[in-house]
Amino acid sequence: MVIVFDIGNTNIKMGVFDGDELLHTLRMASANKTGDEYWLLIKDMLAVKDISPRDVEGVIISSVNPNLNYTFEHMVKTYFGIKPLTVGAGLKCGLDIKYDNPKELGADRVAGCVGAYKLYGAPCIVIDCGTATTFNVISAKGELLGGAISFGLKAASESLSDAAARLPKVELSVPKSAIGRTTITNMQSGIIFGYSGMIESMVARLKKESGLADAKVIATGGISDIVNKCVSVIDVVDRTLTLRGLNIIYQLNKK
pLDDT cut 70: percent of the chain above it = 100
Q: Is residue 224 part of a domain?
A: yes
CATH number of residue 207's parent domain:
3.30.420.40
Which residue segment(s) compose the domain that 70 sits in?
2-86
Maximal CA-CA distance, the chain: 60
What does the pLDDT look like over 68-102, one tens digit per residue?
A: 999 999 999 999 999 999 998 788 999 999 999 98
According to the model, what pLDDT value does residue 131 have? 87
Residues 235 and 135 in one domain: yes
Q: Is residue 116 part of a domain?
A: yes
pTM: 0.92
CA neighbours within 13 Å on the CB side: how many for 158?
A: 7
Tally of CB atoms within 10 A around 198: 17
The CA-based dihedral angle spanning residues 13, 116, 138, 124, taken in that order and rounded to the nearest 10 degrees? -120
According to the model, what pLDDT value does residue 45 have? 87
According to the model, what pLDDT value does residue 166 have? 86
Phi and psi (nearest 5°) for 171?
-75, 140
Whether 50 is a known active-site residue: answer no
Residues 216 and 179 in one domain: yes
DSSP 156-192: HHHHHHHHSTTPPP------S-SS-SSHHHHHHIIII
pLDDT cut 90: percent of the chain above it = 78
Domain end marker among 86, 117, 134: 86
Residues 137 and 21 in one domain: no
Q: Is residue 251 part of a domain?
A: no
What does the pLDDT look like over 131-164, one tens digit per residue?
A: 899 999 999 999 999 999 999 998 889 998 888 8
Catalytic residue among 6, 108, 128, 238: 108
Residues 123 and 69 in one domain: no
Residues 119 and 211 in one domain: yes
- CB contact burial 26-35 (16+ within 10 A = b; e otherwise): bebebeebeb
DSSP 25-70: EEEEE--S--HHHHHHHHHHHHHHTT--GGG--EEEEEES-GGGHH
Domain count, the chain: 2
Residues 195 and 104 in one domain: yes
Residues 108 and 200 in one domain: yes
Flag whether pLDDT at 252 surpasses 80. yes
Q: Is residue 52 part of a domain?
A: yes
Residues 67 and 160 in one domain: no
Residues 116 and 212 in one domain: yes
Flag whether pLDDT at 23 surpasses 90. yes
